[in-house]
Amino acid sequence: MSYNLLKGKRGIIFGALDENSIAWKTAKLAHAEGATFVLTNAPVAMRMGEINKLAEECGSEIIPADATSVEDLENLVSKSVEILGGKLDFVLHSIGMSVNVRKGKAYTDQNYAWTEKGWDVSAVSFHKTMQTLYKQDAMNEWGSIVALTYMAAQRTFPDYNDMADNKAYLESIARSFGYFFGKDKKVRVNTISQSPTPTTAGSGVKGFEGFLSYAEKMSPLGNATAQDCAEYTMTLFSDYTKKVTMQNLFHDGGFSNTGVSQEVIEKF
């Protein structure tokens, strides 16, 4: 079912890897809602993923870019504006990575070179992306920039490791840059704090399955799926949320405001 929410809107979607990824589902939905956009991912992720299939389905062009490289981002933004025939209305930042998590390094035993890499990919890349959009004046007024985050930025989930710090930093960048983007360009910047979601990125966290079912039992509405997240993102890209900015929006079936649920009490 389409509402034409994004008719005539142009954007960039980062991070579509495969059909489980939130960015992939967001792209499919944005296409159905009438948007045109460029897809981008890191060259290494593009070799792993099936992004060409998605591009075909959405009539999109792909521009490879390492989101930690300002040069790559400058090329991505200027080319996107050129390809799409005008300034952008939306951008989705859906990228995150922790080398420490991947290599099984405990939070108390970090390899700091890996920490810096993860921080750059997961958080600083959001600043680099926005700074590039800002300097090129590439966003239309009332445009919308969204990044995906997780509640480990506020509360401790031991196995989430240094990704928790990356997400806290990401959310802070959204507020800080959101102020300037709002004042100077009338553009809104928000983060969506999503339920744990079985994507390629999410499933890399130790004990993920157990945690997924715990979150499901804790949330009055159950976990929000990747598809649910894509649908929520449409509202933030649309003209119906023009005054929502600098927010961290919990999209988690009520998990974030639940102290304990009946199911969890019964289980323990």
Which residues sit in the known binding site for NAD(+)? 15, 21-22, 95, 167
- What is the arrangement of strands in the sheet containing 188-194, beginning at the earlier edge strand? 61-62, 36-40, 10-14, 88-93, 139-149, 188-194, 248-251
Active site amino acids:
150, 160
Which residue type, as a one-letter code, is found at position 7?
A: K
Sorted by sequence, the CB contacts under 8 Å of residue 165 that are 6+ apart come out as 119
DSSP state of 224: P
| Letter string b/e over residues 134-147, b meaning 16 or more CB atoms within 10 A of that residue's CB | bebebbbeebbbbb
Q: Which residue positions form the known binding site?
A: 15, 21-22, 95, 167
H/E element holding 56?
A: helix 51-58
Sorted by sequence, the CB contacts under 8 Å of residue 96 that are 6+ apart come out as 121, 122, 148, 163, 166, 167, 201
For residues 41 and 17, is the Cβ–Cβ distance under 8 A?
yes
Report d(CA 73, CA 66) in Å as an integer.
Answer: 7
Cα–Cα nearest to 189, from 135, 249, 119, 137? 249
Cα–Cα nearest to 29, from 50, 6, 63, 53? 6
